[in-house]
Structure 1
Amino acid sequence: MMIEDAEFRELFQIDSDEHIQKIESGVLELESDPKNADVLKTIFREAHSMKGAAGLLGLKEIEGITHVLEDQLGKLTKGLTEYRASDADRIYYTLDMLKLLVEEAVTGKKANVDLAKTIAVLNGTEQLATSSVQSQVRSADNTASHKEIASPLKNEPSSEKHSDAKEAEKKETKPSVKKIEPSKFKIDTMRVDPVKLDSLLSYAGELTVSKNRIQKRATEIFDLLFLAEDQTKQWNDKKKLFSEWERYAKQFQLPPSFLESIRSLHADEKRKWDGFAQKLSSLKVKSIQDSAKLDLIAQKMEEGIQNVRLLPLSSVFDIFPRTVRDMSRELGKEVYLTLEGGNVTADKLVIEELKDPLMHLLRNSLDHGIETREEREKENKPNPARIRVGGKQVNNAIWIEIEDDGHGLDVNKIKARAIQKEIYTEEEVNSFSETEIQEIIFHPGFSTREQVTNVSGRGVGMDVVKSFVEKFKGSITIDSTFHLGTKFTLKLPINFSTNHVLIIHLNGWKYGIPTEHIDQSLFIRPEQILSVEGKPAISLGDEPIRLVYLNDYLPLRYPKETNSKSNKNLSCMVLRYNGEKLAIIIDSILDKQEILLKPFTGILENVPKLAGTTILESGEICYMIQVPELLNDVKGKSADHSRVFDETQSKTAKTILIAEDSLITRAQIQRILEENGYQVVTAVDGQDAFEKFLKSDFSLVITDVEMPKKDGITLVRNIRETKDTPIIVLTSLGSEEQIQNGKNAGANSYLIKSQFDQNVLLHTVERLLAE
């Protein structure tokens, strides 16, 4: 029978899952302490509450089974019967049948549960074979879907109060007409729709991106102040002009009113300009303050939503004791499971997808790691064997450890199996370190088991673990000692909504690299490139690191725009993941940002080496690089790097002279050019620039117009009297007359500061140097 009301279906599934889980946990405690009266009372109340809920919804089969279960538990609670080891199997069998009936009530899928047999087994009038128990356990486990877990906003009340409150609510079939004092009404907990929570988190991430854009606007206001600085210098020239007018007025004996008009005009214009500059400066301060406030609000909002999404690891850990118990009995092994750190919280996304990877690791420990009783006795190991599942928070990451005291990983067996399955050649395997050999177990389709069993041998499972870790931008390490045991450690970052990335430029495309995978960035010269085993590499300290041109390994290989970079040095970045390092050649590093990742979906879901996209504040699309997948793709492959390195070696270093009296403008242009590989010499005015020009050989000159001692137009004329060096005039004076004056003096190009664009400057430099 299926529940008709969709809301009640959802509530009944959540409620039933909680009751069944608590009964299972209680029965496990009774196996070690059969006379624990508190545990008996707890599971009795859970059965009672589940019976009441089923009766209210008209689920007769569930109500009938839970009624008999309640009777049996009631006899144990009152001491009328004694708890026996066989009671656990009967109760577990009953709970498995209840799981199937709950699924039928929620999904409508026919459960095919034998009601009479279930009640007979529960009453003890029908014996239950061990194989039947294991079969039903696997069936229930395979058909169970992911739980929807309540997200607590406050601490849950005690289970007794919670159950009593539920029972009272279910007994009341009609709305109560009794007046309730508002002051006594209080909701301690509430359930949050996960879809709404995910949507809120997405909005919080968008808010973070918007915050970054607003911060960019503050920078643009700062740039306007640079232009205002140039305009302020022009008032000094205007003041000289007014002084000339006064001199001519006195010389030609013009009326005093004319002089007064000139003074008034100058004072009025100066007052207006000072007011504009003051308002612009005030706007800059307010913009910075607003940006800081928004940054704080966005951070608190994101942290608040993430805290609501946090769920305890016990949500997953609690299902393992039953699994380990049943599997160990099936394999004929004695195992004691220890759970630690169940109160450590993780993001809802992790909790939802953590079950399968951990289950694979546990199965691996039980089947491959833990020995049989006889084998452990021969090796003088204690029985039962030990498996520990633990969780802890380390800085901004969650560590989940699965450790056993079995016989550990046999590297020789792994090597032989890898060669046999032609995953690696014998030569390659022999060159691997012990850690690299152990990591072969994560290869898809790899298994050391010769025969396929119900538990292992199919070559699936461990690659699922690695895929899970990489999906959440984490890592997994193996610590194994032969004959002593193995420990797997999964390290997962806490925050998944936004990412701190370094934005790089490559062939005109923008790419993002997560900062947690960046070891360092540097410039290298072609002569620093080594050849290690026939592959290009660089040396950092005493460590050789493989070197590749990033563009050779990405899907977008065609250039989006012409690269204006002309240098003798290569921009290099060293990436790291899981103990491995890789050096990549890029065009340039643009910025460090906090971004909201938009994963690929549909036909783009499996784009190699790319995780998704984000929109930068400029409106451009930026592609996120999957560093683990990139390192795996590069490993073992050779690359044709001659094109990149030989082309760079053939270029001649270009030296550019910058004449600019504004310190900030001078430093900004110098940084842009040097980041793109040019050598730069600076001068503080036109006279200083011309003296340096005569002493050295420059490939290009960039000059301002308004400068002390010697202005830019005069500097251009002086240079033209000696050489044909390309000259770019860069100034805030953008009138047609000023531009024509610059061209008449011999300037090759005239760029306006108010319309300044980094790419335009670089393209202009590249074009003039190529002529």
Structure 2
Amino acid sequence: MDTFDLSEFLGVFIDEVDEQLDIIDQEILVLEQEGESPEVIQRLFRAAHTLKGSSATMGFEDMTKLTHEMEHLLDHVRNGRLSVTHDLINLLFKCLDELKQLKEEIVSGQDPRTDITPLIEEVENFSIQKQPEQEEEKASGEAYSLEIQGHIDSYRGQGLNIYKLSIQISAECEMKSVRAFLIKNQLESSGADIIQTSPDFENPDNQETDYEEVQFLIATQQSQSEISDLVKMMTDVDEVAVEDLGQQAAEKETAVAAEVETVEKAQEPAEEDKKAKGKEVHSSPKAEPQKPKEKKPAKGRQASQTIRVDVERLEHLMNLVGELVIDQTRISQVSGLLHNRYTEDDTVDDLVQVSDHVARVIGELQESVMKVRMLPIGQLFSRFPRMVRDLAQTLDKDIDLVIEGQETELDRTVIEKIGDPLIHLIRNAVDHGLESKEDRAKTNKPPKGVLRITASHEENQVVITVGDDGAGIDPEKMKKSAMKKGVITAEEAEKLTDDEAAYLIFRPGFSTAKEVSDVSGRGVGMDIVRSHIESLNGIIELDTKLGQGTSFKIKLPLTLAIITGLIIRLADRTFILPMSNVVEIVRIHPDTIQTIKGKSIVVVREQVLPVVWLHDLLQIPRGASENRQLPVVIVGVGEKKIALIVDELQGNQEIVVKSLGKYVGKINGISGATILGDGRVELILEVAGINRMINNV
């Protein structure tokens, strides 16, 4: 066999493995819910088959062997020799977890440490023990024949054509094995499913084949002539023969259908007897003879128009666009100044027009690059169904998980960073929020609890909600726990509203859990969740009703790279406030500021708000404030609002966020820096950090 270096394809292989593992994860859950659905089983089989082929090509034998055993298991289900049971689903998930572990070992480059032999034996034993005795007596050759026939029957049931291709590769071809793989890829790209190959070049032990002639058994929507022309177009192909196996399969299907009908008639009295005794029968839909399907023009699978791009290239492109945004702001300012100074100069008018046009083009470029960085949040949400299922089993709870808005797009950086906080919220909801079946029955609730995860766009933000219909948060219990832990005093507890008491859950070290849980830990992580979200310039809101449930709403910016900022002046210094944190801008007279117990407050629209001179926090001298209206920026931090007094508001503009770098480190109240249009470097304020500074004063 020709040898060639496959290491350069490792990144593509890992991407494909991730994609197929996600499919397997989702489809196992669907299989558990829907039972023996031929479409679901086929999608599972195809994903396992793709993994087997890819891993064999790359030489990862353990992954190849395990996916091969999964294929056998799924094939037994597809052909009716195994039923979809709780044990089968758990075994499939066990295989999936092992595949994920094998992938992690490949990514890390470490020597394989996972021993798959016990799991393979478990899969083999499961297949043998669960099959009817007559299946065990069949010779291995006949069983293999039935397996292939099962594939053919399944594909024909979907209206696909079954062809056997015999392809002669040119003797002058120097890398026949590569040509064979390219032919296989071309067939799959056209929409064909590969049922079998000869020689079996997916078998890593098959190293001595010369590949002068290869055969494929395929299922496709395309005609014989279309498949033949497709292969003939490829170089180094001498001859192509396409044999239609459809007629043979049709005869086999007719015989099987007749046998199934006979068996079903014999079973009908038994089912009626069960119903008469009050037992509900959960039977699969009866197989009806397939009507001849009208042949439709072959569409095939549309050729992929996507390419894989290194993330670092996207980051570099985003940085360049950011520099363009900065330069364009400067150009707009300069052209505006020139236009005001030379009002009758046509050249200056031309400059202004060109500047406006460049601004529009850069705006479109920025939007396009932003879209390239966007990913559907469903890629993150797809982790949760399996997690909720396993947690529900561990806690013996019945939970209906509802996910909405999976198509909502969010910057990939935000998606990567929001995963852990969401997992914590979900685990808390399952463990502490949703009651047991017994407790739900006592309050006349349905035994099945509902956990709802949604995502949607709201102006320039993405809103993610995690809600349950559980017991809700008891405000009195929260107050007692907070006083016991010394978080608040009894006097403070009396003044708290129910909503304010619920928000105590975000205090560091706070928990109402009676005992440590393996599911959600010690319940002390909600302050970490909040801090994590605030570090993304987001906010988290809480809505709870005792006995009805709890909902956490997370609001995040679409991207962290370019944001809209409010430019403020303090004395001779300029700072930027993220507009995502700005609730309202007002002007107040100094006389309206009151002092209660040493704290300054102001009443705005019947709301009592704490007032803070931003100058004092940042150690900048205050300006003269007598007899003039003070500009006040009201910012939101979760449920809390703060009135920040500044000297001047200088407008808002889009800014490129630059990190301070490791040599500066983390500065409380500062999230980064930016370059304004006039070339000045200014700091971006972090509202959550400012709130922490206020609490520490």
TM-score tier, shorter chain, comes to: 0.7 to 0.9
Residue matched to 1:107: 108
Give the 3 Å change call, closer, same or farther, for CA 515–392 of structure 1 in structure 2. Answer: closer
Question: Is residue 177 of structure 1 aligned with residue 221 of structure 2?
Answer: no
Provide, for residues 394-441 of structure 1, a one-character-per-residue CA deviation record: whole Å limited to 9, x for no partner. Answer: 233222111111101122222222222222333233323322222222
Residue 28 of structure 2 is matched in structure 1 by 27
Check whether the contact 1:442–1:463 (CA below 8 A) recurs between aligned residues. Answer: yes
Does residue 607 of the first structure (1) align with residue 608 of the second (2)?
no
Matched, 1:198 2:315: yes
- How much identity, in percent, do the aligned residues show? 29
Once the two structures are TM-superposed, the CA of residue 521 in structure 1 deviates from its matched residue by 4.3
CA spacing shift, 1:161–1:403, aligned 2, 3 Å: farther
Q: Tell me, yes or no, if the aligned pair for 1:24 and 1:92 is still in contact at 8 Å.
A: yes
* 2:335 alignment partner in structure 1: 218
- What is the one-letter code of the residue matched to 2:541? T
1:319 counterpart (380, 383, 391) = 383
Distance 1:214 1:97, change over 3 A: same
Which whole-Å CA distance do the structure 1 matches of 2:459 and 2:392 have between them? Answer: 35
The AA in structure 2 aligned to 1:219 is G
| Amino acid in structure 1 at the alignment position of 2:35 | P
**Does 1:569 find its partner at 2:619?**
no
Corresponding position: 1:494 with 2:554: no
Verify the 8 A CA contact 1:52 1:167 in the aligned structure 2.
no
- Aligned CA distance change for structure 1 residues 454 and 300 (closer, same or farther; 3 Å): same
Matched, 1:618 2:678: yes
Letter in 2 for 1:314: G
Q: 1:63 to 1:409 in 2, by over 3 A?
A: same
Aligned with 2:113: secondary structure? Answer: coil
Could you list the per-position Cα deviations for residues 535-571 of structure 1 after superposition, in whole angstroms to 9, with x for gaps in the alignment?
22333343333222212212xx256xxx886864263
* Residue 44 (structure 1) shift: 0.7
Number of residue equivalences: 546
Equivalent residue for 1:598?
658
- For the residues of structure 1 that align with 2:416 and 2:386, how far apart are their CA atoms? 19
Is the aligned partner of 1:452 residue 2:569?
A: no
Q: Give a deviation string over 1:58-82, Cα, whole Å, max 9, x none.
A: 1111111111111111121222332
What secondary structure, in the 3-state scheme, does the structure 1 residue paired with 2:21 have?
A: helix
Shift of 1:514: 2.1
Alignment of structure 1 residues 352-501 onto 2, 5 Å: 352-501=416-565
More helix per residue: 1 or 2? 1
Scaled by the length of structure 1, the TM-score of the pair is 0.66
CA distance in 1, matches of 2:574, 2:390: 52
Question: Aligned equivalents of 2:188 and 2:624: distance in 1?
Answer: 68
Mapping of residues 51-200 of structure 1, within 5 Å: 51-110=52-111, 112-125=113-126, 164=193, 177-178=235-236, 187-200=304-317
Q: 1:331 aligns with which of 392, 395, 401?
A: 395
User: Are the aligned partners of 2:428 and 2:523 in contact in 1 as well (CA < 8 Å)?
Assistant: no
Q: 1:455 to 1:284 in 2, by over 3 A?
A: same
In the TM superposition, residue 502 of structure 1 has moved relative to its aligned partner by 2.2
State the SS of the aligned residue for 1:602: coil
The gaps in structure 2 that reach 5 residues or longer are 130-185, 203-208, 213-233, 239-300
- The answer (yes or no) to whether the contact 2:331–2:355 under 8 Å persists in 1 is yes
Greater Cα shift, 447-456 or 4-13:
4-13
Q: Write the letter of the residue equivalent to 1:194.
A: V
Query: 1:182-233 CA distances to partner (integer Å, 9 max, x unpaired)?
Result: xx996422112222112212222221111110111012213423xxxxxxxx
Alignment correspondent of 1:750? none
What's 1:9 paired with? 10
Counterpart position of 1:536 = 600
Distance in 1 separating the partners of 2:554 and 2:535:
12
Residues 552 and 566 of structure 1: is their aligned pair in 2 closer, same or farther, counting only changes over 3 Å? closer
Q: What is the alpha-carbon distance in structure 2 between the residues aligned to residue 205 and residue 163 of structure 1? A: 44
Cα-to-partner distance string for 1:120-145 (whole Å, 9 max, x where unaligned): 221235999xxxxxxxxxxxxxxxxx
* Residue in structure 2 matching 1:513, options 572, 577, 580: 577
Corresponding position of 2:286: none
AA partner of residue 213 (structure 1): R
State the AA in 1 paired with 2:643: A
Distance 2:191 2:417 in 1: 28
CA contact (8 A) 1:444 1:459 kept: no
Alpha-carbon distance, 1:116 to partner: 1.8
Contact 2:424 2:520 in 1 (8 A): no
Structure 1 residue 392: Cα displacement: 1.8
User: How far is 1:119 from its partner?
Assistant: 0.5
Corresponding residue number in structure 2 for 1:585: 645
| Secondary structure of the structure 2 residue equivalent to 1:551 | helix
Letter of the 2:630 partner, please give it: S
CA distance in structure 2 between the partners assigned to 1:187 and 1:24 by the alignment: 24
Greater Cα offset, 111-120 or 333-342: 111-120
Please name the residue that 2:264 is paired with: none
Residues 325, 94 of structure 1: CA spacing in aligned structure 2 closer, same or farther, 3 A cutoff? same
Report if the CA contact (8 A) 1:419-1:426 is conserved. yes
Letter in 1 for 2:61: K
Q: Distance in 2 between matches of 1:24 and 1:521?
A: 48
Q: 1:30 to 1:440 in 2, by over 3 A?
A: same
For residues 541 and 58 of structure 1, do their structure 2 counterparts lie closer, same or farther at Cα, with a shift above 3 Å needed? closer
Deviation at 1:162, TM superposition (A): 6.7
> Separation in 2 of the partners of 1:65 and 1:312?
30
Helix, strand or coil at the partner of 1:424: coil
**Residue 307 of structure 2: SS of its match in structure 1?**
coil
Deviations 1:26-79 (A, max 9, x none): 111111222200111111111111111111111111111111111111121222
Q: Which has the larger radius of gyration?
A: 1
d(CA) in 2 for partners of 1:81, 1:512: 64
1:329 corresponds to which letter in structure 2? Q
- Provide the residue aligned with 2:613 in structure 1: 549
Alpha-carbon offset, residue 159 of structure 1: 9.9
1:74-126 per-position Cα deviation (integer Å, ceiling 9, x unaligned)? 12122233222210111111111111111112212355323221112212359
| Separation in 2, partners of 1:185, 1:115 | 37
Is the partner of 1:54 in helix, strand or coil? helix
1:263-292 deviation digits (Å, cap 9, x = unpaired):
xxxxxxxxxxxxxx74xx213311221121
- State the match for 2:176 in structure 1: none
Does the aligned pair in 1 maintain the 2:506–2:530 contact within 8 Å? Answer: yes
In structure 2, the residue corresponding to 1:124 is in which secondary structure? helix
Q: For the structure 1 residues 224 and 288, does the alpha-carbon distance in structure 2 shift closer, same or farther, using more than 3 Å as the test?
A: same
Q: CA RMSD in A?
A: 3.3
Retained in 2: the 8 A contact 1:573–1:586? yes
Give a deviation string over 1:559-602, Cα, whole Å, max 9, x none: 6xxx8868642633132213533222323233432211112231
Contact 2:542/2:553 (<8 A) preserved: yes
Give, in angstroms, the shift of residue 496 of structure 1. 3.1
Structure 1 unaligned blocks of 5 or more: 129-156, 226-276, 639-771
Q: CA deviation at 1:368?
A: 0.6
The answer to whether the 8 Å contact 1:53/1:170 transfers is no
TM-score, normalised to structure 2's length?
Answer: 0.72
1:313-344 deviation digits (Å, cap 9, x = unpaired): 21111111111111111112111111111122
> Which region of structure 1 is more displaced relative to structure 2, 58-67 or 185-194?
185-194
Asked if the contact 1:9/1:105 (under 8 Å) is kept, the reply is no
SS at 1:9 equivalent:
helix
> How many angstroms apart in 2 are the aligned matches of 1:72 and 1:520?
61
Hey, what's the Cα distance between the residues in 2 that align with 1:420 and 1:601?
Answer: 42
Shift in alpha-carbon separation, 1:576–1:434, aligned structure 2, 3 A: farther
**Partners of 1:506 and 1:390 in 2: how far apart?**
40
SS in 2 for 1:204: helix
